[in-house]
Amino acid sequence: MDQRYRQALERAGVTRLGELSMPLVSTLGMSVHFLASRPNWQCYQDERGEFDAGFLGGQLFESIIEEMSRHALAFHERVLAMGVRVLVVLPPQRVPEFSDPRVFIPAQTVLIRRLRELGVEWVDVREAANGEDGWQHPRFCEIDDPLHGNLAFGDLVVDALLDQLPKQRSA
């Protein structure tokens, strides 16, 4: 991992992250499907597999997500403190079988709010990539892969990113 990090810095013509003159585009910490893994949440469910009313929007849930994501949050906070503009790409809105779809969106909402509070900007293609049900439309899904987007999804992300790059840092 360190070798890849050093190679990326070399390609950018710098030796330290704080020397970047271009924005950092990140997906670090946005593996929301991992945060939503079913085993993580079974102890908070009743015998019918239901959460208490308000749990997924409550303070306990929020603190659990923040704790699970603390290293990613700290990384982005540190990069922003270096004066580097950070754009985080939201993941494909797909929930594999091992994850709980009831947890995915609330967990993502917590992350968006926390990272936004830090000053992170978003590359968000949900409006273009999602179907009426709120999940990623099949035409943007990798075939035989329950998680990743396909090339068309990647094109949406690149187009959205290019639209944002000339913008000045958000206030």
* 8 within some domain: no
Confidence class for position 169, pLDDT limits 50, 70, 90: low
What is the separation of C-alpha 156 from the centre of its chain, rounded to a whole number of angstroms?
Answer: 16
Q: Which residue reads 């590359």 in tokens?
A: 123
Residue 6 lies in a domain: no
**Residue 165, CB-side half-sphere exposure with 13 Å CA sphere:** 11
H or E element in which residue 121 lies: strand 121-123
**Is 10 within the bounds of a domain?**
no
**100-159 pLDDT, tens per residue?**
999 999 999 999 999 999 999 999 999 999 999 999 999 999 999 989 999 999 999 999
| Domain total in the chain | 1
Whole-number pLDDT of residue 165: 85
**Residue 57 placed within a domain:** yes
Half-sphere CA count of 100, side-chain side, radius 13 A: 18
Q: Is residue 9 part of a domain?
A: no
63-75 tens-digit pLDDT: 999 999 999 999 9
Range of the domain at 109: 15-164
- The pLDDT of residue 143: 92
CA distance linking residue 8 with residue 14, whole number of Å: 9
- Starting at the edge strand found earlier in the chain, the sheet holding 121-123 runs 24-26, 86-89, 121-123
- The verdict on residue 154 lying in a domain is yes
**Percentage of residues of the chain with pLDDT beyond 90:** 94
Residue 167 has pLDDT above 80, yes or no: no
Indicate whether 94 belongs to any domain: yes
Asked, for residue 109, whether it belongs to a domain, the answer is yes
The CATH number of whichever domain residue 75 belongs to comes to: 3.40.50.12700
**pLDDT at residue 81 tops 50:** yes
